[in-house]
A and B are shown apart, each in its own frame.
Chain A
């Protein structure tokens, strides 16, 4: 036991003392925030300078002018107009030569960057329901605004021409859109994006621990194998103790990392009590049932995958050879992220249920499902609790099996240098005395 402890101590110290550990603690959440928040922020960011736009109108009903009026409502931060209509070209619908010439001229203005975009309002826009804009790049926000303004103008025009004896304004009021909210049972607010991101954060924690520390473990095995240290090691401890010491030592290092993140999060939460956490996230974070399963799956996931990485380390000779094996293992962890949007929509579908009971996928998939279903009590009548518990048991059994097989292969593999073993050879190692 004390020898196991000596190995645990060394593996732990080797990781925690490194500068990269500290950098990882700071950079990983920063990176996660960047990946999740930045694209959303950028996409909805207000343009900070006025955009010059032009309009070609061949419809002849003054839609161009009404559009120019309509978009005046959009302002920049300093409350100056967001769009500047440089020209409105009212052209004869039959004069295609003039239209072509106008488009060519505006195209060249766009290329010269003196114009951001132009809008083409074709003859018959009312009935064919389409309209298009020309630009070098399309801002999500600008297109939404243009769409909204044009649609509104067209609705108004149709109303004016119709037989309905009502004021335009009152019809617009009557047909206004509602705010459509999603709620989880129990009256809690839920929406697709925050649910997805909340799940993603937890999956990322598992992913980072499993893949990062798994690979640290693998590299450590390869290093000991290449430097032949392993031979001295197994003359002092059993290969199983060596493997176990490494897995536990690095596991503690990764727990330290996650622990620091949790502590930092708690500090931020306590000292900035008014911070606005999306309900989907706070529901999850403060749900003890979820947290218990999360801890189970994180530990099991780490144990299972780090053992697999130890196995890879024991059968390869260098990191280059290892790459071939790392890819499929990483894919198993990424699959739930790729399938994320489907899982959120259909968390109880047969496909998702079956996949989430495959031990390699259980830790991440089950976390995502638990996050969506948000069970609050341990009631085995609740199918998700039953399935999650079954998942824990299956993953636990699979992990034991993997540890046993790896232990058998590890003790032979770490002493094999040079030629990479073939699969039949590796299988034969399992039966060695």
Chain B
């Protein structure tokens, strides 16, 4: 598979602070690629450099093997982390304006606009002003402005932030459809559960540096099936002490137990059942989240706080 986008040793520093350090990655044509990492990892800086909004201090960004040109700017759809649109313009005006900025002819936009509004259930608002829309609707509208000009590549920074679960499903479906049309999709997120469901390829970054990258399936296979996810009532803190449990990560509604290779799953479950009421359990592949913690060697509590604050 050819690479649509390639970053070679890019680096960006703001004064003393190095935001992105020696980052290289390859995004194959027609794939869904996730840049994943906690807040402050350098995701937005990386994406802004790809979009030519800021210039890297060092390194190369290659599109189809060549330098970024004005044409690339027209062939990419970009949804930044912080969303916003002109409040006083109508939906139609906003969509036409942003498409025209991408050099997409107005007549083509007008042909496509109804289909997109329909898909996003915004048809009734075509002639209404943006300020009349709810936050969620504005997000969907901005998504339309990102993709309506039929770009070759879509770049979405913190794709899921501010979207309700229903809209997340809607956007996912659309992204899958775009992928089938051969469009390359790159997105960043700190919500690893979501990334896992969507990505073909991932790149985990932390503190401006790549931790791990590759095909999602390969990454998962490499880290084996050694995780027990238990959905339960009660305090599961004691499970850390059960023999065969190497580590425990507590989430809001469930815990994940990392087991040693020789652990007896039945025994662990029995010990758990003695103290808490188990509603569901599953032996599963390690989550991206777990892999991330393991590879980045960071304190999981840091990440949990991070996620609790942002999900």
Residues of A bordering B, CB below 8 Å: 2-3, 6-7, 10, 14, 223, 226-229, 231-237, 415, 417, 433
Chain B residues, Cβ within 8 Å of A226:
84
Provide the residues of chain B in CB contact with A232, threshold 8 Å.
78, 80, 98, 145
Q: Enumerate chain B interface residues (CB-CB to A < 8 A).
A: 48, 51-55, 57, 73-74, 76, 78, 80, 82-89, 97-98, 100-103, 145
**Contact for B87 among A6, A227, A228, A433, CB less than 8 A:** A227
- Nearest-neighbor residue (CB-CB) of B73 within chain A: A236
Beyond known contacts A3-B103, A232-B80: 17 more, CB 8 A cutoff:
A6-B100, A6-B101, A228-B82, A229-B84, A229-B86, A231-B48, A231-B53, A231-B78, A231-B82, A234-B53, A236-B74, A236-B78, A236-B98, A236-B102, A237-B101, A415-B54, A433-B57
Contact partners of B74 in chain A: CB under 8 A:
236
CA distance A433 to B48 in the complex (A): 15
Enumerate 19 A-B pairs (CB-CB under 8 Å) in ascending A order. A7-B101, A10-B97, A14-B88, A226-B84, A227-B87, A228-B83, A229-B84, A229-B85, A231-B80, A232-B145, A233-B101, A235-B76, A236-B73, A236-B74, A236-B102, A415-B53, A415-B54, A433-B55, A433-B57
Residue of B nearest to A237 (CB): B101
Residues on B with C-beta less than 8 A from A234 are 53
- Which B residues touch A6, using CB under 8 A? 97, 100-101
Residues of B within 8 A of A233 (CB): 101
A66 → chain B closest CB, angstroms: 71
CA distance in complex: A417, B74 (Å): 26
Tell me if B's interface is mostly helix, strand, loop or mixed.
loop
* A233 nearest in chain B by CB position: B101
Which residue of the partner chain, among B51, B76, B85, B102, contacts A227 with CB atoms under 8 Å? B85
Cα of A226 to Cα of B85 in the assembled complex, Å: 10
Residues of A within 8 A of B102 (CB): 236
Task: Find A228's partner among B84, B89, B103 (CB 8 Å cutoff).
Answer: B84
Whether B53 contacts A3 by the Cβ 8 Å rule is no
B57's closest neighbor in chain A, by CB?
A: A433
In Å, the complex CA distance between A235 and B87 comes to 20
B80 — nearest CB in chain A belongs to which residue? A231
- A233 and B80 CA atoms in complex are apart in Å by 11
Select the residue from B53, B87, B102 with max chain A CB neighbours within 10 A: B53
B105–chain A nearest beta-carbon distance, Å: 10
The reply to whether B55 and A235 contact each other, CB–CB distance below 8 Å, is no
CA distance A46 to B172 in the complex (A): 79
**CB pair A235 B73 closer than 8 Å:** yes
Shortest Cβ gap from A112 to chain B (Å)? 58
* Bound Cα distance from A232 to B86, whole angstroms: 12
Shortest C-beta distance, A319 to chain B (Å), equals 15
Judge whether B101 and A236 touch: CB under 8 Å: yes
Residue ID in chain B nearest A239 by CB atoms: B53
Q: Which residue in chain A gives the minimum CB-CB distance to B50?
A: A235
Complex Cα gap A275–B98 (Å): 51
With a cutoff of 8 Å between Cβ atoms, the chain B residues found around residue A433 in the complex are 55, 57
Distance in angstroms between the alpha carbons of A64 and B102 in the assembled complex: 87
- Give Cα A433–Cα B57 distance, bound, in whole angstroms: 8
B140 CB to nearest chain A CB (Å): 15
Q: Is the CB of B52 within 8 A of A235?
A: yes
A236 to B76, CA, bound (A): 9
The smallest beta-carbon distance between A311 and chain B, in angstroms, is: 19
A residues less than 8 Å from B86 (CB atoms): 14, 223, 227, 229
A235 to B73, CA, bound (A): 7
Distance, CA A10 to CA B98, complexed state (A): 11
Most buried by A among B51, B78, B101: B101
Q: Name which of A227, A236, A237, A417 has the most chain B CB atoms within 10 A of its CB.
A: A236
